[in-house]
C-alpha cells in the first residue's frame, strides 16, 4: 500500500543530493514530484495545493546544518532528509490529532451506525467492529438494516454466525423501524452495543438520505461512522462532506487498505471535513481492523515504513524478550537459518506478508513493486526443515551433495535450494550492512519500547517525532558497551592479520 506515494517522495528526496540549502529552485522540482505523486494517489486537488504551499513555506530558506548534536551525540543529516522531515510533520498534522475512541452511552445500549456508498464494505466492517468490541468484553448486537440489496441480511447473518455474535433482522419492515426495534431488543436482552448496518446509498439520493436521517433521529446513535473505500477517487471529499452535512458524522473508517490503493482519501477527508479517521481495515478476515494512527500512515507515505504498526503486530504474536533478542542478533549480523525459520513462523502468524513487508522501514523501497508471495514462505520453511542442525547454524557448509539431499527431503529441486540460500545470504549481508549504518538500530529501538507501547506511550517517540530532524535516521545508536565490543573485535582481527602476514 502507498508505495507509489512513497516512490514519489523518495524521488523528491533524491533531488537534494549534494545540496546544503533548501532554495526556491531546488524545492520547486521536489515539490512538483510530490504534487504529482499525491494527485496520482487520489488526494483531493485542493488538499494537495494547500499541502504543497505549507511545505514550501516551511522549507524555504532553511539552511540545513548537516551536523546536529542530539543528547551529546554528533549526528549527520542531509537536506533531503530535512525536507522529508518537513513533509512528514505536515502529513502528521494534516491527519491528526488522533481520535479513535468509540463513544459509549452512560446508559446502555450504545449505538454505532455504519453508513456509506454501495460496495465500500459496510457489512464486513460491521462484523469486524463487532469482533473488535467483543474482544473488549462488550456484547454487541448486529442489526441488518439493509433491506434493499438482495441477500444482504443473509450475509450479515453468516458473518454473525462465524463470530458467534447475534444478528437482529426483521422481514417486511422499513429500515428505521428495524433499527428502533433492534434497540428495544438490545435493551431487553442486555446487549450493550448495537451496530446498525445500513444499505449502501449515494449521497445525492435524497429519499435514501432522508431515511438515514430518520434512523438517526429515532435511535440517536452515539457514533455515526462513514465507511469509505480506500480506492475512492477525487469524489471522496464530496461524498464525505454531503454525508457529514446531513448526519453529522463522528468519524470515518477506511477499508480495503490491503490493496495498492494509496489511501489518498484519508488525507483529503480528514482535512476537508475535520472529522477523525477511526479505523483502518486491511483484509478480508474479521480480525483485519486496526485503530488509525496518523504518524504510522505518514511514515508509510514517506517510505519510512510503519514501525509502530509492525511492533503492534509483533506484540500480538511474539513475547517481547524473544523479539528483543532477535533484533539484537540481527543487528550484529549473526543471522542463521534457524532465525530465518523462526522469523518465517512468526511472520506467518502476523498476517498477510505484503502488509508486514510494507511496514518494515526502507524495505518497501528495496522490494520495489515486487509482489510478495505467501507460498514462498512455505517453500523456504520446508527446505529449512529438511536441513540438519549443523546446516541451519552454518549454511556455508551446504555444497552440492547436501543440496541434493535437502532437495529430495523437501520435495524440491537442488536449484531451489540454491536460490533460497542465495536469498538468505543477500538478506544476511543486507542486515549486517543495515546494522552497521544504524538503520536497523531503529527497529531494535522500537522493539525495546514494546512494553511502553502497550502502556499507551506516545508512538511518536518511537518514530523519533520528538527528536530533532537529524536524529530521525539514527534515534538509537549503538550503546557504548556494544561499541567497545566491536572495537575489541576489530583489534583482535587486526592482530591476527598481522600475525598471519609475519608467518
CA dist., res. 62 & res. 80, Å (int): 12
Q: Which is nearer to other proteins, 146 or 170 (CB)?
A: 146
The DSSP letter of residue 198 is E
342-362: b (≥16 Cβ within 10 Å) or e = ebbebbbebbbbbbbbbbebb
Q: Are strands 289-291 and 277-281 parallel, antiparallel or unpaired?
A: antiparallel
Q: Cα–Cα distances in Å, from 472 out to 63, 200, 424, 461, 494?
A: 18, 43, 29, 10, 33
Q: Which is nearer to other proteins, 144 or 478 (CB)?
A: 144
State in angstroms the smallest separation of the CB of 280 from other proteins: 15
State in angstroms the smallest separation of the CB of 154 from other proteins: 4
Assess contact for 305 and 432: CB atoms under 8 A.
no
State in angstroms the smallest separation of the CB of 407 from other proteins: 24
* Number of C-beta neighbours around residue 87 at 10 A: 25
Q: Which is nearer to other proteins, 273 or 471 (CB)?
A: 273
Q: Which is nearer to other proteins, 248 or 374 (CB)?
A: 374
State in angstroms the smallest separation of the CB of 175 from other proteins: 16
User: Residue 300: which of 252, 361, 350, 355 has the closest Cα?
Assistant: 361
Q: Which is nearer to other proteins, 285 or 433 (CB)?
A: 285
CA geometry: angle 201, 204, 206, nearest 5 deg: 85
CA dist., res. 359 & res. 125, Å (int): 23
State in angstroms the smallest separation of the CB of 359 from other proteins: 15
State in angstroms the smallest separation of the CB of 162 from other proteins: 8
Site residues, other proteins (CB under 8 A): 36, 39-42, 44-45, 117-121, 148-152, 154-159, 162, 202-204, 229, 231-236, 238-239, 242, 256, 258-262, 264-265, 284, 352, 354, 371, 373-375
> Helix or strand or coil: residue 52?
helix
State in angstroms the smallest separation of the CB of 454 from other proteins: 31
CA dist., res. 94 & res. 271, Å (int): 6
The DSSP letter of residue 63 is B
Q: Which is nearer to other proteins, 301 or 463 (CB)?
A: 301
State in angstroms the smallest separation of the CB of 38 from other proteins: 10
Q: Which is nearer to other proteins, 86 or 265 (CB)?
A: 265
Give the cell for residue 174: 422499513
Q: Which is nearer to other proteins, 100 or 158 (CB)?
A: 158
Amino acid at each position: 500500500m502507498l508505495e507509489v506515494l512513497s516512490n514519489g517522495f523518495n524521488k523528491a528526496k533524491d533531488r537534494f543530493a549534494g545540496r546544503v540549502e533548501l532554495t526556491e529552485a531546488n524545492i520547486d522540482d521536489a515539490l512538483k514530484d510530490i504534487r504529482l505523486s499525491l494527485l496520482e494517489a487520489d488526494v483531493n486537488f485542493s488538499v494537495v495545493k494547500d499541502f504543497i504551499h505549507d511545505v514550501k513555506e516551511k522549507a524555504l530558506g532553511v539552511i540545513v546544518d548537516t551536523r546536529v548534536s542530539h543528547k551529546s551525540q554528533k549526528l549527520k543529516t542531509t537536506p533531503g532528509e530535512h525536507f522529508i522531515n518537513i513533509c512528514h510533520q505536515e502529513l502528521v498534522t494534516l491527519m491528526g490529532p488522533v481520535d479513535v475512541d468509540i463513544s459509549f452511552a452512560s446508559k446502555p445500549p450504545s449505538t454505532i451506525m455504519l453508513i456509506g456508498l454501495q460496495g465500500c464494505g459496510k457489512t464486513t466492517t460491521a462484523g469486524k467492529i463487532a469482533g473488535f468490541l467483543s474482544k473488549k468484553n462488550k456484547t454487541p448486537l448486529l442489526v441488518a438494516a439493509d433491506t434493499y440489496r438482495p441477500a444482504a441480511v443473509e450475509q450479515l447473518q453468516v458473518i454473525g454466525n462465524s463470530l458467534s455474535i447475534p444478528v437482529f433482522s426483521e422481514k417486511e419492515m422499513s429500515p428505521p423501524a428495524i433499527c428502533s426495534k433492534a434497540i428495544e431488543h438490545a435493551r431487553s436482552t442486555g446487549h450493550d452495543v448495537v451496530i446498525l448496518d445500513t444499505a449502501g446509498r449515494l449521497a445525492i439520493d435524497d429519499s435514501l438520505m432522508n431515511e438515514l436521517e430518520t434512523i438517526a433521529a429515532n435511535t440517536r446513535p452515539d457514533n455515526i461512522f462513514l465507511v469509505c473505500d480506500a480506492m475512492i477517487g477525487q469524489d471522496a471529499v464530496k461524498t464525505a462532506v454531503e454525508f457529514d452535512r446531513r448526519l453529522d458524522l463522528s468519524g470515518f473508517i477506511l477499508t480495503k487498505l490491503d490493496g495498492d490503493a494509496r489511501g489518498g482519501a484519508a488525507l483529503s477527508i480528514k482535512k476537508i471535513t475535520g472529522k477523525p479517521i477511526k479505523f483502518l481495515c486491511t483484509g478480508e478476515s474479521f480480525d483485519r481492523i486496526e485503530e488509525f494512527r496518523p504518524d504510522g500512515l505518514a511514515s508509510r507515505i514517506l517510505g519510512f515504513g510503519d514501525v509502530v504498526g509492525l511492533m503492534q503486530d509483533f506484540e500480538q504474536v511474539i513475547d517481547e524478550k524473544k523479539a528483543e533478542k532477535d533484533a539484537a542478533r540481527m543487528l550484529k549480523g549473526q543471522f542463521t537459518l534457524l532465525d530465518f525459520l523462526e522469523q518465517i513462523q512468526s511472520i506467518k502468524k502476523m498476517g498477510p506478508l505484503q502488509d508486514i513487508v510494507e511496514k518494515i522501514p526502507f524495505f518497501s523501497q528495496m522490494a520495489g513493486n515486487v509482489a510478495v508471495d505467501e507460498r514462498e514462505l512455505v517453500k523456504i520453511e520446508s527446505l529449512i526443515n529438511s536441513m540438519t542442525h549443523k546446516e541451519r547454524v552454518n549454511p556455508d557448509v551446504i555444497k552440492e551433495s547436501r543440496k541434493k539431499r535437502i532437495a529430495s527431503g523437501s520435495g524440491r529441486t537442488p536449484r531451489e535450494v540454491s536460490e533460497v540460500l542465495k536469498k538468505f545470504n543477500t538478506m544476511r549481508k543486507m542486515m549486517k550492512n543495515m546494522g552497521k549504518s544504524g538503520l536497523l538500530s531503529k527497529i531494535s529501538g522500537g522493539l525495546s519500547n514494546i512494553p511502553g507501547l502497550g502502556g499507551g506511550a506516545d508512538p511518536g517517540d518511537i518514530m523519533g517525532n520528538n527528536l530533532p530532524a537529524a536524529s530521525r535516521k539514527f534515534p538509537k545508536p549503538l550503546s557504548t558497551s556494544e561499541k567497545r565490543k566491536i572495537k575489541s573485535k576489530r583489534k583482535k582481527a587486526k592482530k591476527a592479520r598481522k600475525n598471519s602476514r609475519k608467518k
